[in-house]
Amino acid sequence: MQSIQWFPGHMHRTRRQLAELLPKADAVIEVLDARLPQASRNPLLHQLRGPKPCVVVLNKSDLADPEVTQAWVTHWKAHDLEVLPLVATDAKVSRRVLQAARALVPPRNFRLRPLVLLIAGIPNVGKSTLLNSLAGRKVSLAADKAAITRAPKRIHLDEETTLYDTPGVLWPKLEDQHDALLLAASGAIRETALDLWTVAVGAAALLHQYYPERLRARYGIAGDGPPEEFLWNVGKRRGCLRAGGVVDAEKAAQVLLGDLRSGKLGRISLQKPPA
Ligand code: G4P
């Protein structure tokens, strides 16, 4: 398979910002994609966070396979991590993040000294959406454009809670091409930086492994052959054709990736915890 690469964004600036902000925070809210929890963990945050209390949010859990999400919760709880499956678009449920974070911090009068939280996560994982839900107003633009970099923001959520929002960036190099595939398939990597056909072929192979019946149900194609052939047939069926009736590979890739990202293939998890 062709290697998946992207333009990483401002890593040095992010490292500096995180290193500056972490000491000011009582706890970290690490937002992961419930469909690919391990692949969406930023190793930089992991390195810099140290023993600072952390709530691991498995966001977009409405798009993930509930059984697999539960398996991740069990897995990380066994490693003493506070894990919370979440749907950030649901404002009521989102407040649970604040309760979970507060429970990790030694009690004090938060009106006198507000709880300070830092929120971090890769692009497109739902940080802005979560912030908007927590604040009850629009505090930053929620847009489906990965790798938009922003300066950190300080937001007063209420009289007891302040939150630092850090820009979502991807790390510069992914040795693990499988993780790269999961990130690309989920939409975390800006599409202009990607070869969509390569990503869609990889996604088709994974979907055949985990959820073959969903592919059959949606596209009416058995897909027992190579994933390239499957994708080609999806393109044909969906009328993704160029002049002369040749399948437009990029459009066919967009059909599969669009269906996967929007939940049209049902609730899907692309990564399971280690056995
Ligand atoms: P970011 O700040 O981390 O980059 O992510 P952002 O909040 O912009 O969210 C990226 C996309 O993910 C948005 O969709 C947002 O609505 C969607 N999203 C966030 N949380 C959830 C969730 O828990 N479940 C689901 N299903 N989607 C979620 P969008 O298409 O860009 O915008 P729109 O649909 O809100 O118009």
The CATH number, out of the four listed (3.60.15.10, 3.30.1490.20, 3.40.50.300, 3.30.200.20), of the domain defined by the range 9-165: 3.40.50.300
Query: Could you tell which of 59, 144, 163, 268 is best to mutate to test the pocket of ligand 1, judged by most ligand atoms within 8 Å of the CB?
Result: 144
**Three-class secondary structure assignment of the chain:** CCCCCCCCCCHHHHHHHHHHHHHHCCEEEEEEECCCCCCCCCHHHHHHHCCCCEEEEEECCCCCCHHHHHHHHHHHHCCCCEEEECCCCCHHHHHHHHHHHHHHCCCCCCCCCCEEEEEECCCCCCHHHHHHHHHCCCCCCCCCCCCCCCCCEEEEEECCEEEEECCCCCCCCCCCHHHHHHHHHHCCCCHHHCCHHHHHHHHHHHHHHHCHHHHHHHHCCCCCCCHHHHHHHHHHHCCCECCCCCECHHHHHHHHHHHHHHCCCCCCCCCCCCC
- Per-residue pLDDT, 154: 87
Q: Is the pLDDT of residue 230 over 60?
A: yes
Q: Which of 5-14, 29-38, 219-228 has the lowest mean pLDDT?
A: 5-14
Atom number of ligand 1 nearest to Cα 59: 23
Q: Is the pLDDT of residue 225 over 50?
A: yes
Query: Could you tell which of 42, 87, 89, 141 is best to mutate to test the pocket of ligand 1, judged by most ligand atoms within 8 Å of the CB?
Result: 89
Q: Which of 151-165, 172-186, 207-221, 248-262 has the lowest mean pLDDT?
A: 172-186
**What residue ranges do the domains of the chain occupy?**
9-165, 195-262
Instruction: Enumerate residues lining ligand 1, CB below 6 A.
Output: 59-60, 62-63, 87-89, 121, 123-129, 142-144, 168
Q: Is the pLDDT of residue 94 over 60?
A: yes
Domain range 195-262, CATH architecture: Orthogonal Bundle (1.10)
Alpha carbon distance 159, 156 (integer Å): 7
pLDDT band of residue 4 (cuts 50, 70, 90) is low
pLDDT band of residue 194 (cuts 50, 70, 90) is confident
- Higher-confidence residue: 45 or 61? 61
Q: Is the pLDDT of residue 218 over 90?
A: yes
- Higher-confidence residue: 256 or 92? 256
Q: Is the pLDDT of residue 233 over 80?
A: yes
- Higher-confidence residue: 178 or 259? 259
Quick: pLDDT tens for 98-151.
Answer: 999 999 999 999 999 999 999 998 888 999 899 999 988 887 554 434 444 456
Cβ neighbours of residue 80 under 8 Å, at least 6 residues apart? none
pLDDT band of residue 73 (cuts 50, 70, 90) is very high
pLDDT band of residue 2 (cuts 50, 70, 90) is low
State the distance from the centre of ligand 1 to the C-alpha of 265, rounded, in angstroms: 18
pLDDT band of residue 82 (cuts 50, 70, 90) is very high
Mean pLDDT on 183-199: 85
Rounded mean pLDDT of the chain?
88
- Per-residue pLDDT, 169: 67
| Adjacent-strand bridge partners of 33 | 59
Q: Determine which residue's CA is closest to atom 9 belonging to ligand 1.
A: 126
Mean pLDDT on 173-202: 84
Alpha carbon distance 61, 269 (integer Å): 9
Q: Determine which residue's CA is closest to atom 25 belonging to ligand 1.
A: 60
- Per-residue pLDDT, 44: 81
Mean pLDDT on 86-96: 91
State the distance from the centre of ligand 1 to the C-alpha of 81, rounded, in angstroms: 24
